[in-house]
A and B are shown apart, each in its own frame.
Chain A
Amino acid sequence: MAAAFARRLKRRRGASLFLAGLPLAFLALAFFLPLGNVLLWGLREEGRWTLARLGPLLADPYVRHLFAFTALQALLSTLLSLALGFPLGWFLTRYRFPGKGLLRAFTLAPFVLPPITVALGFFLFFGHAGYLNAALRRVFGLAEPPLRVLYSLWGIVLAHAFYNAPVFARFVHAAWSSLDPALEEAGAVLGVSRPRAFLTVTLPLLLPALFSAAALVFVLCFLSFAIPLSLGGARYATVEVGIYQYARVHLDFPRAAALGLLQILVTLALAYFYVRAGGFWGGRQARSRPLPTQPFPSRPAHLLWILWLLGSAVLFLGPMAAVVADAFSRPWAGRPPGLAWYRAIFSPEQNPFIGTSPLGSLQVSLEVAGLSTLLALLLGVGVSAALRVLPSRALEVLLMAPMAVSSVVLGLALLLAFRQPPLSRLPEKYALVLAHALLFYPFVVRIVRPIWEGLTPAWVEAARTLGAGRFRAFLTVEAPLLSQALLVAGAFSLALSLGEMTAAAMLSQGELVTLPLAIYRFLSARRFGAASAMASLLIGITVAAVALWEWLGERTLRAYGQA
């Protein structure tokens, strides 16, 4: 009896180790091995270990300039994002108004909005011949375009703020609405004025959230690729662009690898800071009731808010609207285009600007997105399951490690891995499929895991006592409860893959030109109409993914919230 019992226990332990080992083994082969290879490349010369490459690299004025410029633009971008995002978070927290849900959903959009569409929008809207300059010239009768932000550091910073101000808004909104209103009221009862209560009570309580958001935004801007590449060019290159240029333009792989190694060291330090800052912001206080909101607009002073909202709308909606408008208005062969630009992006004919046919680009994008989403879902569920049966901090760090690596470095690692057997026998597009799966499965884990962990264990236990085996209990109880999370994660992963340009640029070969890359090439050749039509398509997919997220999220909460 006891022996059978012990055997069973052992079998169960074996099963969990197997479950935990599977995603780890996959990551070891598909991620750690190629990455290790490329990073060690930066440390080897003619078969010997050496730091010889790193020394001259650090002394190289161009490399120093890359790092300094990257850090500077990231810092400025973070500050501008804070300045634009904090009021938005404040507004979302303090007021209630029709369309609030929609506005909140909008703050999610930049997470998935393809950077190349933002870059294109900035060209069309803020460019010297863009909509904004054209409007200003008409209104004030100017001969020269008055706004010259685009081809400068400020263009990059403004585009990054477009991206990351909503991150601040979301963090501030989440942290602020979880505060107990009694705290500020206590300040008021003690005789402190409202602004003073804000400065002495609310702001200190929001600081951890602000630090977390700042660290996150800084890292995102530090690793930004598509925006500096298309808005900055060679003069305003970031480290990420630098690695890309060494690897894909100069074909100097050892130098690219060494630069990648340096970049990883910097990002690991930043990630460490982010995790530490996140530690501050762990605890949620108990609240007596939700924070009260004021109706908006209800007072004359709200006019200031309305002006501010209009200004923000110009910054945030202008570039996106410009993209959509451009596809419908840029003349096609001298005439109004109608749907001609849209027809053009479904054309099967070879296009000299992008190096493949637009339809081929769409097809390969969909294929890569579909396959990488499937792989990301599998990997995400596998990792979540592994962390469920074997919860351990070390395992989590290992299983989530791809988050800490920039897309360019990951692309470089897979580029080199797919040049050697056995992977070299596979078509190049599988390198991109793998890259996207590795980039996006952490999002799947982030969406699925909290919901999985939040499922009451009694549900599975009830299924077991009713006679369902462990696997059947998973299929009939856990899987349906996770299905909406999986759907959302899948939609997100799909949208992210369709919009991803960094790894796509690193791994593009011949016919392997995805939509964002095609848009970039059209943009570089100043063929805006086709670029706008393609970008509109991507924006549409992104908006659909975000809408699905908000809609399903609400519905799931309502149905399962307290059940």
Chain B
Amino acid sequence: MARLEVENLKKRFGPVVAVAGVSFAVEAGEILVLLGPSGCGKTTVLRCVAGLEQPEAGDIRLDGRSLLGLPPERRDVGMVFQNYALFPHLSVAANVAYGLRHGRRRLPRRERQARVAELLALVGLSGYERRRPHELSEGQKQRVALARALAVEPKVLLLDEPLSALDAALRQELRRELRHLLKGKGITAVYVTHDQEEALVLGDRVAVMREGRLEQVDVPQALYERPRTPFVAQFLGRANLWPARVLGREGAAFRVAVAGTEVVAEPVAPLAEGDEAFLFFRPEWAELGAGPFRAEVEGAEYLGDRWEVRGTVQGLPVVLHAPAPPQGPLAFRLRRALLLGA
């Protein structure tokens, strides 16, 4: 178990800035998820930590010791690759044993075999020792890749979209298993994904990345309930974001002018009277029936347990949840609303 620190990491590919100064720390035994749309630089951060890319600036420390300049094989960092990268010429057992045979922590044959058996049992693949990678299902490949990375007992495990090649049902099953396994062994892990649901389920904390920068690092509930930026608010779940103007303080909250009326909302950014801001609320924070807002309905989609209603309030787009298909305009009030900086 180890603590990983990434400090002010920067990386460019030619003229393209992939990572523009990223800092975070992963505590011993913690799972940190790097979440963001494709091309946001999350995989590059991971590859820099593994030593597969060389950053231009910044530092990467493991238990206080800098990893910069060390080749990947001397970093004590394990990695699970997006398409698993199982060696096609080796059996399942030989894949798992690879690091114990050719790596820095070599074991004698007998111990190696025992360790391989133990790891395959851990991922539920006992009896598959002699199979070749092309004879495995995608889910089985994923488990072998995990067992292979864990075999050398790395101080930090890096996972690069390890579930993205799987179908939805298997993905849900495996992400539960994966979290259970990582927490059971107390492994420090950095997990890269673009799937928000996966991030919320798997991460102890989630770091949302956008265009090479971190937008917010927080526990999953806080990201959903108290996003700090409009990007985070929109990236995770449904979001209503309306431009608003700050009128004045009301205790810890602010009174704002929005959509032709006035409401009180809780700020997550420092604001002052007269500032431009965004009023943010989730569909489930709106209470239908009566209130200051009136939504003109444009359409509704049936989602099984509810109807998702699209419409406009004073020309501003809005998404609401309703128990039945709406007949005519919907009046609503907000149980909760946040003020995000513009």
Instruction: Report the separation of the CA atoms of residues A563 and B78 in the bound assembly, to the nearest whole angstrom.
Output: 21
* A466 in contact with B59 (CB, 8 Å): no
B148 contacts A by Cβ under 8 Å: yes
14 A–B contacts, CB within 8 A, in A order:
A5-B54, A458-B83, A461-B52, A463-B102, A465-B51, A465-B75, A465-B149, A467-B99, A467-B102, A468-B73, A476-B98, A559-B89, A560-B134, A562-B134
**Which partner residue on chain A sits nearest B85 by CB separation?**
A458
**Which partner residue on chain A sits nearest B55 by CB separation?**
A5
CB distance from A338 to the nearest CB of B (A): 47
A481 contacts B by Cβ under 8 Å: yes
Give the interface residue-count category, chain B. 35 or more
* B149 in contact with A466 (CB, 8 Å): yes
B243 contacts A by Cβ under 8 Å: no
Q: Which one of A4, A458, A464, A563 contacts B72 once the chains associate, using CB atoms below 8 Å?
A: A464
A480 contacts B by Cβ under 8 Å: yes
Instruction: Knowing A462-B81, A560-B134, A561-B134 are in contact, say whether A9-B54 is a contact too (CB < 8 A).
Output: yes
* A1 in contact with B69 (CB, 8 Å): yes
Chain B residues near A473 (CB, 8 Å)? 102
* B85 in contact with A459 (CB, 8 Å): yes
Q: Which one of B50, B66, B73, B89 contacts A467 once the chains associate, using CB atoms below 8 Å?
A: B73
B330 contacts A by Cβ under 8 Å: no
* B73 in contact with A559 (CB, 8 Å): no
Chain A residues near B66 (CB, 8 Å)? 1
* A462 in contact with B152 (CB, 8 Å): no
B88 contacts A by Cβ under 8 Å: yes
* A466 in contact with B88 (CB, 8 Å): no
Mark interface residues in B70-110 (1 if CB within 8 Å of A CB, else 0).
01111101110111011111000000001100111100000
Chain B residues near A456 (CB, 8 Å)? 83, 85
Instruction: Knowing A1-B59, A561-B134, A563-B133 are in contact, say whether A465-B79 is a contact too (CB < 8 A).
Output: yes
Chain B residues near A7 (CB, 8 Å)? 69
* B102 in contact with A462 (CB, 8 Å): no
Instruction: Report the separation of the CA atoms of residues A209 and B88 in the bound assembly, to the nearest whole angstrom.
Output: 34
* A563 in contact with B134 (CB, 8 Å): yes
Instruction: Report the separation of the CA atoms of residues A4 and B69 in the bound assembly, to the nearest whole angstrom.
Output: 6
Instruction: Report the separation of the CA atoms of residues A22 and B105 in the bound assembly, to the nearest whole angstrom.
Output: 34
Instruction: Report the separation of the CA atoms of residues A509 and B77 in the bound assembly, to the nearest whole angstrom.
Output: 61
Chain B residues near A470 (CB, 8 Å)? 71
Q: Which one of B87, B132, B134, B158 contacts A477 once the chains associate, using CB atoms below 8 Å?
A: B87
* B102 in contact with A476 (CB, 8 Å): yes
A472 contacts B by Cβ under 8 Å: yes
Mark interface residues in A533-563 (1 if CB within 8 Å of B CB, else 0).
0000000000000000000000000011111
Chain A residues near B99 (CB, 8 Å)? 466-468
A residues 1-23 near B (Cβ < 8 Å) are 1-2, 4-5, 7-9
For A9, A467, A470, A481, which residue has the most chain B Cβ atoms within 10 angstroms? Answer: A467
A297 contacts B by Cβ under 8 Å: no
* B69 in contact with A8 (CB, 8 Å): yes
* B72 in contact with A461 (CB, 8 Å): yes
Interface residues in chain A, defined as those with a beta carbon under 8 Å from any beta carbon in chain B: 1-2, 4-5, 7-9, 456, 458-459, 461-470, 472-473, 476-477, 480-481, 559-563
B123 contacts A by Cβ under 8 Å: no
Interface residues in chain B, defined as those with a beta carbon under 8 Å from any beta carbon in chain A: 50-52, 54, 59, 66, 68-69, 71-75, 77-79, 81-83, 85-89, 98-99, 102-105, 132-134, 148-149, 151-152, 154, 158
Chain A interface mostly: helix
* B83 in contact with A465 (CB, 8 Å): no
CB distance from A3 to the nearest CB of B (A): 9
**Which partner residue on chain A sits nearest B54 by CB separation?**
A9
* B132 in contact with A463 (CB, 8 Å): no
CB distance from A556 to the nearest CB of B (A): 10
Instruction: Report the separation of the CA atoms of residues A5 and B57 in the bound assembly, to the nearest whole angstrom.
Output: 11
Instruction: Knowing A1-B68, A9-B54, A467-B73 are in contact, say whether A461-B89 is a contact too (CB < 8 A).
Output: no
Q: Which one of B88, B102, B149, B154 contacts A559 once the chains associate, using CB atoms below 8 Å?
A: B88
Q: Which one of B51, B98, B132, B134 contacts A466 once the chains associate, using CB atoms below 8 Å?
A: B98
* A458 in contact with B134 (CB, 8 Å): no
Given A5-B69, A456-B83, A563-B132, 16 other A-B contacts at CB below 8 A?
Answer: A5-B68, A459-B85, A461-B79, A462-B85, A465-B75, A465-B79, A466-B152, A467-B152, A470-B71, A472-B102, A477-B87, A481-B88, A562-B134, A563-B88, A563-B133, A563-B134
For B68, B81, B102, which residue has the most chain A Cβ atoms within 10 angstroms? Answer: B102
Instruction: Report the separation of the CA atoms of residues A146 and B226 in the bound assembly, to the nearest whole angstrom.
Output: 98
Instruction: Knowing A459-B85, A461-B72, A467-B152 are in contact, say whether A559-B98 is a contact too (CB < 8 A).
Output: no
Chain A residues near B134 (CB, 8 Å)? 559-563
* B148 in contact with A466 (CB, 8 Å): yes
**Which partner residue on chain A sits nearest B94 by CB separation?**
A476
**Which partner residue on chain A sits nearest B83 by CB separation?**
A458
CB distance from B55 to the nearest CB of A (A): 9
Chain A residues near B51 (CB, 8 Å)? 464-465
Chain B residues near A464 (CB, 8 Å)? 51-52, 71-73
Instruction: Report the separation of the CA atoms of residues A2 and B68 in the bound assembly, to the nearest whole angstrom.
Output: 8
**Which partner residue on chain A sits nearest B50 by CB separation?**
A465
**Which partner residue on chain A sits nearest B59 by CB separation?**
A1
CB distance from B52 to the nearest CB of A (A): 5
**Which partner residue on chain A sits nearest B47 by CB separation?**
A461
* A465 in contact with B78 (CB, 8 Å): yes
CB distance from A477 to the nearest CB of B (A): 6
Instruction: Report the separation of the CA atoms of residues A221 and B68 in the bound assembly, to the nearest whole angstrom.
Output: 58
CB distance from A2 to the nearest CB of B (A): 8
Instruction: Report the separation of the CA atoms of residues A67 and B103 in the bound assembly, to the nearest whole angstrom.
Output: 62
Instruction: Report the separation of the CA atoms of residues A476 and B102 in the bound assembly, to the nearest whole angstrom.
Output: 8
CB distance from B161 to the nearest CB of A (A): 12
Chain B residues near A562 (CB, 8 Å)? 134
CB distance from B92 to the nearest CB of A (A): 12
Instruction: Report the separation of the CA atoms of residues A371 and B124 in the bound assembly, to the nearest whole angstrom.
Output: 51
Instruction: Report the separation of the CA atoms of residues A138 and B328 in the bound assembly, to the nearest whole angstrom.
Output: 102
CB distance from A11 to the nearest CB of B (A): 10
Instruction: Report the separation of the CA atoms of residues A476 and B87 in the bound assembly, to the nearest whole angstrom.
Output: 10
Chain A residues near B75 (CB, 8 Å)? 465
CB distance from B5 to the nearest CB of A (A): 14
* A560 in contact with B88 (CB, 8 Å): yes
Instruction: Report the separation of the CA atoms of residues A1 and B86 in the bound assembly, to the nearest whole angstrom.
Output: 34
Instruction: Report the separation of the CA atoms of residues A562 and B88 in the bound assembly, to the nearest whole angstrom.
Output: 9
* B85 in contact with A461 (CB, 8 Å): yes
* A465 in contact with B87 (CB, 8 Å): no
CB distance from A152 to the nearest CB of B (A): 54
CB distance from B226 to the nearest CB of A (A): 36
Chain A residues near B52 (CB, 8 Å)? 461, 464-465
CB distance from B128 to the nearest CB of A (A): 15
Instruction: Report the separation of the CA atoms of residues A7 and B68 in the bound assembly, to the nearest whole angstrom.
Output: 12
Q: Give the top 9 A-B pairs by smallest Cβ distance, nearest first.
A: A467-B103, A466-B99, A458-B85, A563-B88, A464-B72, A467-B104, A462-B85, A5-B69, A563-B134
For B73, B75, B148, which residue has the most chain A Cβ atoms within 10 angstroms? Answer: B73
Instruction: Report the separation of the CA atoms of residues A472 and B72 in the bound assembly, to the nearest whole angstrom.
Output: 13
**Which partner residue on chain A sits nearest B98 by CB separation?**
A466
Q: Which one of A4, A462, A472 contacts B79 once the chains associate, using CB atoms below 8 Å?
A: A462
Chain B residues near A462 (CB, 8 Å)? 79, 81, 85-87, 148
Instruction: Report the separation of the CA atoms of residues A8 and B85 in the bound assembly, to the nearest whole angstrom.
Output: 27
* B133 in contact with A463 (CB, 8 Å): no
Chain A residues near B105 (CB, 8 Å)? 467
For A5, A472, A473, A563, which residue has the most chain B Cβ atoms within 10 angstroms? Answer: A563
CB distance from B254 to the nearest CB of A (A): 46
Instruction: Report the separation of the CA atoms of residues A458 and B88 in the bound assembly, to the nearest whole angstrom.
Output: 12
Instruction: Report the separation of the CA atoms of residues A89 and B83 in the bound assembly, to the nearest whole angstrom.
Output: 38
CB distance from B160 to the nearest CB of A (A): 9
CB distance from A15 to the nearest CB of B (A): 12
Chain B residues near A9 (CB, 8 Å)? 54
Chain B residues near A563 (CB, 8 Å)? 86, 88, 132-134
Chain B residues near A476 (CB, 8 Å)? 98, 102
CB distance from A265 to the nearest CB of B (A): 40
* A465 in contact with B71 (CB, 8 Å): no
Chain A residues near B148 (CB, 8 Å)? 462, 466
